[in-house]
């Protein structure tokens, strides 16, 4: 289903192509099986780690002592979204990718597999979690992932890239820090950059942050997929908002 906030919506070739050639691409890529294998492996990992809560807090966990499998299940990206990220990597072919909120690295692998020439910077503030992610990156021999065990604030103090092509924000799920990160990322955006905000309906606050983001004058096209919010900076597009069920 493709629904637009105005009847001219689907007439944007940029959005039309993205929807038909990427969002709705039904190809069964062989890499999906690899993504699945990694998922299953992590979902079986009963190692217990002590995590440091840095985000908006968990609605599931009451203790900081958590099994890796439980983190993967409750805080990890779903398989469906891993596949969508995979397709977006293939479609946009970004050279530089930034993920804020690595957790166990499930989204990171999907992106790394889809686009081996890209450099994927990924940031995780919790040491124990990042150690687990690091061990999997090593085990599966990912060469294009650079993992930073830092808070987002510390990471931005020495941001390694002046311009970034693709950003996946999956860490802070509160309004203030989402808007602060957006403002920190803005100078690193260029005309073809893509930013994805995870869980824009996680809370009323997150939805407010999203609504503020899409109003920003630098944002032209914005797409609400009911779970991710995507923004684009393309000056050749008129400012237009789309709602598309993926």
Ligand X SMILES: C[S@@+](CC[C@H](N)C(=O)[O-])C[C@H]1O[C@@H](n2cnc3c(N)ncnc32)[C@H](O)[C@@H]1O
Q: Which residues bind ligand X (CB under 6 A)?
A: 54-55, 75-77, 101, 103-104, 106-107, 123-126, 129, 151-152, 170-172
For residue 241, the minimal CB distance to ligand X (Å) is: 25
- Smallest distance from ligand X to CB 91, Å: 19
- Distances, alpha carbon 192 to alpha carbons 29, 112, 113, 203, 237, in Å: 25, 20, 22, 29, 11
Question: Given the complex with ligand X, which of 12 and 184 has the nearer CB atom?
Answer: 184
Please, what is the minimum distance in Å from the beta carbon of residue 126 to ligand X?
A: 4
Residue 134 or 234: the one with the smaller Cβ distance to ligand X is: 134
| Nearest CB to ligand X, comparing residues 19 and 229 | 229
Nearer to ligand X, 165 or 170 (CB): 170
Q: Closest distance between ligand X and the C-beta of residue 110, in Å?
A: 8
Alpha-helical (H) ranges within the chain are 13-18, 31-43, 68-75, 79-92, 106-114, 127-139, 152-157, 175-185, 204-215
Least distance CB 125 / ligand X (angstroms): 3
Pick the closer one to ligand X by CB: 90 or 173: 173
Q: Report the distance separating Cα 155 and Cα 163, nearest Å.
A: 15
Q: Where are the alpha helices (DSSP H) in 115-203?
A: 127-139, 152-157, 175-185
Q: Which residue is nearest to ligand X (CB)?
A: 125
Residue 100: strand, helix, or coil: strand
φ, ψ of residue 136 to 5 degrees: the values are: -70, -40
Of 7 and 63, nearer to ligand X (C-beta) is 63
Give the β-pairing of 229-232 and 166-169. unpaired
Cα(87)–Cα(24) distance, rounded to whole angstroms?
A: 10
93: three-class secondary structure by DSSP: coil
Q: How far apart are the first and last CA of the chain?
A: 8
Shortest gap between Cβ of 7 and ligand X (angstroms)? 36
């Amino acid at each position: 289903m493709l629904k637009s906030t105005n009847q001219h919506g689907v007439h944007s070739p940029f959005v039309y192509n993205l929807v038909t050639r990427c969002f709705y691409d039904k190809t069964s890529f062989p890499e999906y099986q690899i993504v699945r294998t990694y998922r299953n492996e992590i979902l079986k990992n009963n190692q217990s780690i002590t995590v440091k809560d840095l985000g908006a807090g968990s609605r599931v966990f009451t203790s900081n002592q958590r099994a890796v499998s439980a983190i993967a299940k409750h805080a990890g990206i779903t398989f469906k979204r891993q596949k969508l990220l995979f397709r977006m990597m293939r479609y946009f072919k970004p050279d530089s990718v930034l993920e804020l909120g690595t957790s166990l690295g499930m989204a990171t692998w999907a992106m790394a597999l889809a686009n081996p020439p890209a450099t994927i910077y990924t940031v995780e503030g919790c040491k124990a979690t990042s150690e687990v992610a690091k061990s999997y990156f090593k085990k599966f021999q990912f060469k294009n992932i650079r993992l930073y065990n830092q808070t987002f604030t510390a990471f931005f103090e020495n941001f390694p890239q002046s311009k970034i092509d693709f950003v996946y924000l999956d860490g802070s799920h509160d309004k203030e820090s989402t808007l602060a990160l957006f403002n920190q990322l803005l100078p690193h955006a260029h005309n073809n950059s893509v930013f994805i905000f995870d869980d824009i309906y996680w809370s009323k606050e997150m939805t407010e942050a999203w609504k503020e983001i899409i109003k920003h004058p630098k944002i032209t096209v914005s797409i609400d997929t009911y779970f991710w919010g995507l923004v684009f900076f393309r000056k050749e597009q008129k400012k237009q908002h789309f709602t598309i069920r993926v």
